[in-house]
Amino acid sequence: MAAPTRKTRVIAGVAPDRIPFGALMESQQPAILKGVASDWPLVHAGRKSAATAMAYLRSFDGGKQVTAYTGKPEIKGRFFYNDDASAMNFESGREPLAAILSRIEAHLDDPNAPSFYIGSTDLDIYLPGLRAENDLVLNNPMFEANPPTVSIWLGNRTTASAHYDMSNNIACNMVGHRRFTLFPPEQVHNLYPGPLEPTPGGQVVSMVDFSAPDLDRYPRFAAALAAGEVAELEPGDILFYPALWWHHVEALDSFNAMINYWWNTSPAFMDTPQNTLLHALLSLRDRPDPEKRAWRELFDYYIFGPAEHAAEHLPEAARGNLAPLDEMKARRLRATLLNRLNR
């Protein structure tokens, strides 16, 4: 396994009701908060045995079918593409949570087990009541305007290839051990992102096999390793990392469970920048280089510089879309864009 030598910083002694959310967001750096969730009942169940943890989870099963991913033993837990990236190397389908837990349980002692994975499953919908007993104390005002999405992740020994999410994340390791390999956003150039679609789990993933990186084919990956860091999580540890950080996630035991919290601090009426990226492929990428350089200056002026800069010299009544957005202005701007795209 290729891994950076730098370890993610560890903050010990944090009380569960004193998580420094503001300081974490200000730092914009990953951090392990050691043992913050160690008293959660799911953690206690997992410490007894994998079977005890699964029995505890079954007690909250709402009876709804979940999306489950299954791979043959040959993939060794790496949910990815086939050899020519024309399809996935696993199958997906809807089935009851209890059924997939039973399949995992049947292979707990199997060194050549198939790979089983349930990802990003809404906790309150699929396991109602679990959060009442296993939950972070969200005592920061930013969560009032931006309530997090809370999900559970379950499976055996699996690997989620390096990818980024568009939200800030706190990953709470409940059962088993996990290893996160983390890279700042600027390392996108060295991580060799795969196709925009289809993707194994909804987000673009690195094409590099971290277990055996081919540095002849992906030579810049060595620079990514030099800039990355590793977070080793025990049951009860929680990991914060900011939006758009790349993360490669390995679940290391025969049964693993994680609960995560995703949130943004931008207004809900704002569109996702991923749509902007797709539109830029349509409108900018293949233009002549001199035009692209000019457009880069325009984007720096209007978008990536200080938000108020482009309009500060204009009378207030003349600022139009350059003025701060609100929900109504966002709706009008979206309608204008749709009209232009549909011309």
pLDDT in tens, 257-283: 999 999 999 998 999 999 999 999 999
Task: Please name which of 342, 339, 319 lies closest in space to residue 329, comparing C-alpha atoms.
Answer: 319
C-alpha neighbours within 13 Å on the C-beta side of residue 250:
16
Per the DSSP assignment, residues forming a β-bridge with 91 are 70
pLDDT at res. 113: 97
Burial (Cβ within 10 Å: 0-12, 13-18, ≥19) of residue 14: middle
Pick the CATH number of 10-263 from 2.30.30.40, 2.60.120.10, 3.90.740.10, 2.30.110.10: 2.60.120.10
**Beta bridge pairs of residue 79:** 160
- As given in the structure block, the two tokens for residue 132 are 């009442």
Instruction: Residue 243: name the closest of 25, 34, 36, 32 by CA.
Output: 25
Query: CA quadruple 201, 206, 211, 216: dihedral positive or negative?
Result: positive
Residue 180 pLDDT greater than 90, yes or no: yes
Q: Match 């983390």 to its residue by tokens.
A: 182
Average pLDDT for 83-110: 96
Contact by Cβ (8 Å): 150, 263: no
Q: Which residues of 308-317 are buried (b: 16+ CB within 10 A; e: fewer)?
A: eebbeeeeee
Residue type, 225: L
CB 165, CB 176: distance < 8 Å: no
- Kindly indicate the confidence band of residue 3, based on its pLDDT and cuts at 50, 70 and 90: confident
**pTM, entire model:** 0.95
Q: How many residues does the chain have?
A: 343
* CA gap 171, 248 in Å, rounded: 13
Residue for token pair 């809807």: 94
Q: What is the pLDDT of residue 343?
A: 77
> What's the CA gap between 295 and 291, in Å, rounded?
6
- E strands present in 148-194: 149-155, 158-163, 168-175, 178-183
Rounded-to-integer distance, Cα 88 and Cα 201, Å: 10
**Domain residue limits, the chain:** 10-263, 273-341
Average pLDDT in the 58-66 region?
96
List of residues 6+ apart from 178 with CB closer than 8 A: 171, 232, 233, 249, 250, 251, 252, 256, 258
Tell me the one-letter amino acid at 335.
A
Q: Express as a percent the part of the chain with pLDDT over 70.
A: 100
154, 130 Cβ separation under 8 angstroms: no
Give the pair of three-digit tokens for residue 142. Answer: 């930013």
Buried b (16+ CB within 10 A) or exposed e, 115-139: bbbbbebebeebbeebeeebbbebe
Residue 181: per-residue pLDDT: 98
- Answer whether residue 1 shows pLDDT above 80: no
Under a CB-based contact definition with an 8 Å cutoff, are residues 158 and 251 in contact?
Answer: yes
**Tokens representing residue 146 in the block:** 């931006």
CA-based diameter of the chain, in Å?
A: 71
What pLDDT was estimated at residue 47? 98
Confidence of residue 67 (pLDDT cuts 50, 70, 90): very high
In whole numbers, what is the pLDDT of the chain averaged over residues?
Answer: 96
In this prediction, residue 41 carries a pLDDT of 98
53 exposure class (CB count in 10 Å sphere: 0-12, 13-18, 19+): buried
pLDDT at 280: 96
Residue 18 has pLDDT above 80, yes or no: yes
Which amino acid does the sequence have at 17? D
d(CA 162, CA 207): 8
